[in-house]
Structure formats: structure tokens, C-alpha cells
A = this chain, B = another copy of it.
């Protein structure tokens, strides 16, 4: 089993969907990634920052899931990063109602000493310079660095983002972001251009339409489980990334064949995440449920045509 470093936000979210509305609840990329990765009982550490307003019970929750939080800085006089958004009826689009950076504005990530030699690094969505700073602190070249990012950084920090992209093995972005990053509409062509930027593996997330994994001329397509209803999509992409990274860290097998399984695990965990508000479903998820849903994924996609 490998050590896993997770960098990303630990935050407050306030969410509105057609099904209801929350007050400030636990959110953040590192939170969702950590909760997903915790399903694999890997030795994981979160690197993040919160304010003095952040409840101890949320920190305990992460700790109790086996996530080392010694790298989560608490700025006593600061306020925790806050995001608020409202989803449209189709659940595929949303309006951001508020983004308060707060302590994130001056975040200087510190990787705990015991994790500076981690084999797997998951760079959750954050300013590319913060992501780079984490990589610079590693004393041994990680076997696998996974980068998640979003269009916001392409708009305002493209050069810095491209510098990080050069240094990672896997990038996970959504379809529109892949198109924006490359200027190509075809995802096949976009993936090839991203390969040329650095990452050997490109994962393109298509929300309800699943995810594509590209490597050289190989491609793998994991569908999303068709759901009766999506209750709250917040954190689904991070949960996917956390499942992906957690599975790879646990198995230690970085082959393309095994990465297919990592994509399936990511999709499986994401399918739970959207069933309830925020982290609620992920906090209460048990291995039996995961096992059952993996079986559903198999039934969903596996066929048996005789090719002679």
C-alpha cells in the first residue's frame, strides 16, 4: 500500500437544488477526495487550510475516517473558504452565488514530514501555484501525480496551470474544460493534445454521461450509473478523483488495465455522492453498499459477444 497526499480545499458549502437548500455544511475538494479515498483504508494525509470558525467535529470526522489532518492548517483569526451555489432543474448547470476565499487567499501548503515521500499525490482543484508548491516539497519523485483543475484557472492562471500540467501523470477534467484547455471540440483530439502537454493519462469527466480514460492510443469508457434522481451533484467530480487516487494508492498497480478499475471505482463512489446533500452519503457509506454497486456497474457494461 502506498501513501497518499491530498491537497485541496476544506470548506463550507451552501447549496440549493430543486430538492432543497442547505445552510453552511462541510464541503471542499480535499474533503470529498479524502472521504472517497478512505474507502480503501490507505495511509492518506490532507493538506489544506481552515479558519477559526471551522468546527472541531468536522476535523474529527476526517480524522476518524483515517485521514491524517496534521497538514490542515488552522488560521485561528481567519474564516474558512466558503462557496455557495444554486443548481438548475437539469442539475447539469449551476450558478455560483458566493465565493469567499478567506484563509485560502494566503494559503501556503505544508506537506507533513511523514508524507514527503508519498508515492501518490492527488492535487485537488486549487490555484496551480499551490499545487506546484506541494510537488516541490516532495523529497522523492512520486510514482503517480494526479491533477484536478477547472476552467477558472484556465481563465486567470493559464501559464501557471500549464507548468503544473507538465509535471503530472494523470489529469482529470470535465469535457468543457478539456475543450477550453486545447481549443479542440473532439475529445479524442483534445486528449491527444493534453498528452502532449505532459500527462500520460487523461481522464475526461462527462457528468451523467460517464468518464473517458485516454492513454496513448487506448481509450476506456466508464459510464455513469443511470440514476432515478440526482439530489446534489456537489463534490461528485472530487469523489471520482478520490476514488481513482485511493484505489491506485491501495493497489500500487499503475498499469492501464488497473487504471480502468480505478475509473470504475471513481464512478461508483461518485454515484453515491450525488444521492444526498454534500458529504452526507459519503460519510455513511459502507463497504457492502460499494460492493453491491460495483456489481451493478459490471451488469451495466459487461457483454459477451463471441469474436471469432
Interface residues, chain A, CB within 8 Å of chain B?
89-90, 185-189, 206, 209-210, 212, 218-223, 226-229, 257, 260-261, 264-265, 291, 294-295, 298-305, 307
Beyond the given A221-B300, A301-B301, please list 16 additional residue pairs across the A-B interface where CB-CB is below 8 A: A186-B229, A187-B226, A188-B228, A206-B209, A209-B209, A209-B210, A210-B223, A218-B299, A220-B300, A220-B303, A257-B304, A261-B304, A261-B305, A264-B305, A298-B305, A298-B307
A245 to chain B, nearest CB (A): 17
Are B227 and A260 in contact, with the CB atoms below 8 A?
no
CA distance A264 to B304 in the complex (A): 10
Question: In chain B, what residue has the closest Cβ to A206?
Answer: B209
Closest to A261 in B: B305
Chain B residue with the shortest CB-CB distance to A263: B303
Q: How far is the CA of A307 from the CA of B265 in the complex (A)?
A: 12
On chain B, the residues within 8 Å of A219 by CB distance are 226, 300
In the assembled complex, the CB of A275 is this many whole angstroms from the nearest CB of chain B, namely: 13
Q: Which residues of B contact A210 (CB under 8 A)?
A: 209, 221, 223
Q: With A185-B89, A185-B90, A209-B206 known to touch, is A303 a contact of B227 (CB < 8 Å)?
A: no
22 contacts between A and B (CB under 8 A): A186-B228, A188-B226, A188-B228, A189-B228, A209-B210, A210-B221, A210-B223, A219-B226, A221-B300, A257-B304, A261-B303, A261-B304, A261-B305, A264-B305, A265-B305, A294-B305, A294-B307, A295-B307, A301-B301, A301-B302, A301-B303, A302-B302
Smallest Cβ-Cβ distance to A18: which chain B residue: B185
CA–CA, A285 and B265, complex, Å = 37
| Whole-angstrom CA separation of A304 from B261 in the bound complex | 7
Q: How far is the CB of A127 from chain B (nearest CB, A)?
A: 31
CA distance A302 to B263 in the complex (A): 12
Cα distance, A34 to B304, chains bound together (Å): 25
Closest residue of chain B to A221 (Cβ to Cβ) is B223
Complex Cα spacing A284 to B305, Å: 24
Q: What is the CA–CA distance of A226 and B218 in the complex, to the nearest angstrom?
A: 11
Complex: A184 Cα to B231 Cα, angstroms: 15
In the complex, residue of chain B having the shortest beta-carbon distance to the beta carbon of A185: B90
Cross-chain contact A227 with B300 (CB below 8 angstroms): no
**Neighbouring B residues of A295 by C-beta, 8 Å:** 307
Closest to A192 in B: B228
Q: How far is the CB of A206 from chain B (nearest CB, A)?
A: 7
Shortest A91–chain B CB gap in Å is 8
Smallest Cβ-Cβ distance to A191: which chain B residue: B226
The docked-state distance in angstroms from the alpha carbon of A227 to that of B228 is 29
B260 touches A303 (CB 8 A): yes
Given the contacts A264-B303, A264-B305, A212 and B226 also touching, CB distance less than 8 Å: yes
The minimal Cβ–Cβ distance linking A229 to chain B, given in whole angstroms, is 6
Whether the Cβ atoms of B226 and A221 lie closer than 8 Å is: yes
